Each structure stands twice: as structure tokens, then as C-alpha cells.
Chain A
């Protein structure tokens, strides 16, 4: 679809309205958010790295200037802020040169926000390569050499996902992963300690920060999902009964 069709015309504004409405509502009242085990494990992993006195790996995947990578960066910023309190080092490998200055700035500001600007080491935010497997090899090398104690894999991943996860497992790192790349989720589940699945990835920043705007947005997402489910059930029911409902009415809901 290059331009909006009728479905996009109706659904996108409706869902956007639900999300924005809940953002405004959340500023006035407290919203509930269920426990997401994988995200709660982030603090445990930081604690483990601190105890062992070894660095952490925060890999934001192979995405560029896109929404999933910004989300991954928001999670990474949270991790760095938390680890800065304990003086634990975080290494952030970067794949896409477009995102590199943004990552550098985000990491630096995370240290500044915690009042530890001196802990920021420019060499720990490293552009490695924008070739998929060269990046994988270089990141795996860092994991081996630095013997990272915790590995956070949040972002867009492809075939290299298992290389990161398995290498982390081999050095005994505690691993937390989350990705919007559905095909890589099984690999993370097989090799990581904690995995967040599907749209939990986009719930992460709300869950971690408990910021009302983000919590509202998350509840808005759930309402939008509810709309979609209702629409699917409605459409499937009508399509199922289309032959009974009559040719002219029923055919509207049958695939052409």
C-alpha cells in the first residue's frame, strides 16, 4: 500500500485517537501495568554484572533510524542509568552509522542524568561495521574478550541473533532479549535467560520508567488491540455466515 485505503483511513486515526486519549487520561489517574518478568530481570542482570565486576553488553540490533531502534535505545538508556549508580561499565556496539551519533548522545546523557558524566567512556560506544556478519563477529569478539557478565539484546535482529545469544551463553552471561523480529524470538528463547515477546518490546519503556505518558500510551495500545480483535471477530463471523446472509450482503465480507 503506497497510499491510505479505506481501512487505513478509518483504523489509523481511530487507533491514534485511542492512544492519545489514554495518554491524556494517564496524566490524571494511576494506571495498572502487569508484571513483565523479562523486564524485571534487567535489574537482576545489572546486579549480577556489578557483583562480578565485569562489563555489560547492550546491543541495539541492526536497525537504523527507525521506531524499534529508538525503543531499544530507550531501554538501553534505562539500563545505563541503572548501572551508572553502581559504576558498572556498559559496552554499546553500533551497526548503523546513521544511528551512531544518536546512540553516543543518548549514552552520554544517561550518565549525565545520573550525575556521573565522568563514567562515560567514548570508546564503549563503538561503531563496528554495517555488514551483518562482520558486526556479528566483532560483537562476539567483544563478548569473549571482555567476558561480559550481562548481555542485553534489544532491537531488530536477523540471523546473527543466535550468534550473540549463544556466545553470551558460552561466557556465562545472564541474558535478557526482546525483539520485534518475530522469526528471531525462538532463537532468543532457546539461548537467553529472559525474553520479552511481541509488543512487550514496546511496553518496555513504560514499564521501566512508570512515566504516566508512556503508561497511558500502553493502555491506549491495548484499547487499539481490542478494536482490532473486535473487528476480526466481526469480520470472521460475517464471512462465515455470508452464504446464509444472502448474496448481496454476505459477499461484502467474503474475500474477492
Chain B
């Protein structure tokens, strides 16, 4: 299938997807509650089977840098359209989220009292951003573009940056509170943290710059010790944790795929 057709707008496919989704949803709503889990499990099994087969079945021919289009097996061409379908579902769920937000804030506004001012701000921001966002796309005149810039760059972008900046302050208070040499492990942790911090700033590097790079002790340069810590012990540890997490993820995925998951909403 040509990629252009997959990525570009295709009204037929969109309508077909919409109709199929509505039919599936309708059937699921009509089915008695006790059978719904079975249907969901069957769908999970089929979906998982598709992903597993697409990954494991031999690719013919094998992809090479010279022939990049020769990727995959007979299931591979449907990966991208399937992904697009998932994106469409995501679009619908954003609507669900917005409805939930409106419900929570709407109730609070009706009740009045503490916190209702926040709800007013929420509704004002949402309406303004939506209206001006649509206007600047539909009528991209300087006024609409400037208004959009004020909201997007002046508002959202600045607030985003502010929130992230707060992390720096929290790092200082958390590190000051937590880095106490109460045990051998804590002392090691503290020493490592200080070496890594000093090794990455110019002022810290000045401390060991007097050691000639040609001497036998040149590896005592603080930036080289830092580099060793990050490359060797750090990599070993993060790899080990990643292996454990990977296998844990595989186990949970297998349980969900085969309907073996227990607890919470997975129980029959």
C-alpha cells in the first residue's frame, strides 16, 4: 500500500473505521455484562497474536540498507494503518477527558465556595484557547496570530517552563535533606554524587587541572573519574535494572495477553 494513501486523508477509510467502531461498540453494549469480559479477552488475544506474529514471522526478503522497502512479512503492511486507527481512538478519548474536566469544574462552579475561582479560570482558558486556536487556523490574519501567540507562547510555553524550573528548587531541598552520611552506603552515595557534580562543571574541573595529563596520575582528573562512574558502574546498574524491568514487563504482558492476569479489574 503506498504510504501516501496511508498517511494522507482518506475519507473512505475514516468512514469505514468510524462505522466499524460504532458497530463494535454497539454490540459490546448489547451483550450482557457477564459475557463482556470474554469478548474483551478474545480481542486482546487476537490483537496480541497479531503483534507477536508480525514481530516473529520471518521477513522476506530481509531488510537491507540498500532496499529499505523490503521490510517485514505479510502482516507488516497493516501496521501503519492499525497505528492510525489507534490514533483516531486516542482523538476520541481526549473528548472523554474534556467532558470529565467540565463535569468536575461545572459541579464546583454550581456549588460555589472554595476552589470555584479555579474552575472559572479553567473554563475561561479552555474557551479562549479553543476559539482563538480555531480562528488563527481559519482566518490567519495578524490579529488572530498575535492573540494565539500570546496564549501559546506567552501563556502555555512560559507556564510549562516555570513548572519545570520548579524542579531545580525541589532538587536542592530534597538533596539537602536526603544526602546524610548515616551509613557506609549513604557515604558512598554522597561521595559519588559530589564527584559527578564537580566533574561536570568548569569550576569543579579546576580542582584537578593541575595534574598533568601526561603523568601517571592523570586518571585522577575529576572529569575522568566522573566519566568512569557514568560509563562503567552506572551503565552496569541501569542495564541490570532494565533487564529486570524488561522481563517483568514480558511477564505482565503474557498474563494480560493470555487472560491470566488476576486482581483488580482482570478477575472474571
Contacts and interface: CB of A to CB of B under 8 A. Distances in A.
- Assess A/B contact in the complex (Cβ within 8 A): yes
B263 A19 contact: no
Instruction: Summarize A's interface: helix, strand, loop or mixed.
Output: helix
Interface centre among B89, B166, B252 (most CB of A within 10 A): B252
B250 A199 contact: no
A102 to B, nearest CB: 8
Given A133-B160, A134-B160, A198-B241, A220 B94 contact: no
B263 A159 contact: no
B242 to A, nearest CB: 7
Contacts of A122: 103
A131 B93 contact: no
A33 B265 CA distance: 24
A223 to B, nearest CB: 10
A213 B262 contact: yes
Nearest to B92: A97
B160 A199 contact: no
A163 B171 CA distance: 9
B16 to A, nearest CB: 22
B148 to A, nearest CB: 17
Contacts of A12: 56, 250
Contact of B244 (A19, A67, A110, A225): A225
Contacts of A190: 174-175, 177-179
Interface string A121-136: 0110111101111101
Interface stretch (B7-15, B207-215, B216-224, B253-261): B253-261
A104 to B, nearest CB: 8
B163 interface: yes
A214 B263 contact: yes
Interface string A93-117: 0100110111001100110000000
Given A2-B63, A20-B254, A133-B160, A202 B248 contact: yes
Contacts of A127: 96-98, 100-101
Interface residues of B, number: 64
Contacts of B141: none
A190 to B, nearest CB: 4
A127 to B, nearest CB: 4
Contacts of A71: 252
B59 interface: yes
Say which size band chain A's interface belongs to. 35 or more
Contacts of A8: 55-56
Contact of B264 (A3, A106, A128): A106
A162 B263 contact: no
Interface stretch (A39-47, A51-59, A72-80, A246-254): A72-80
Interface in A49-90: 67-68, 70-71, 73-74, 76-78
B160 A145 contact: no
Interface string B100-122: 11011001000000010010000
A151 interface: no
Given A98-B89, A130-B94, A202 B251 contact: yes
Nearest to B171: A162
Given A20-B258, A133-B159, A205-B263, 11 more contacts: A16-B254, A20-B254, A97-B96, A162-B167, A163-B166, A165-B174, A190-B174, A190-B178, A209-B262, A218-B251, A221-B247
18 contacts: A3-B57, A12-B250, A70-B261, A100-B97, A101-B93, A102-B265, A105-B265, A109-B265, A123-B104, A126-B100, A130-B94, A131-B160, A133-B160, A166-B173, A169-B174, A198-B244, A202-B245, A225-B247
Interface of A: 2-4, 8-9, 12, 15-16, 19-20, 23, 67-68, 70-71, 73-74, 76-78, 94, 97-98, 100-102, 105-106, 109-110, 122-123, 125-128, 130-134, 136-137, 141, 145, 159-160, 162-163, 165-166, 169, 180, 182, 185, 187, 189-191, 197-199, 201-203, 205, 208-209, 211, 213-214, 217-218, 220-221, 224-225, 228
Interface of B: 54-57, 59, 63, 71-73, 89-90, 93-98, 100-101, 103-104, 107, 115, 118, 156, 159-160, 163-164, 166-167, 170-171, 173-175, 177-179, 238, 240-245, 247-256, 258, 260-266
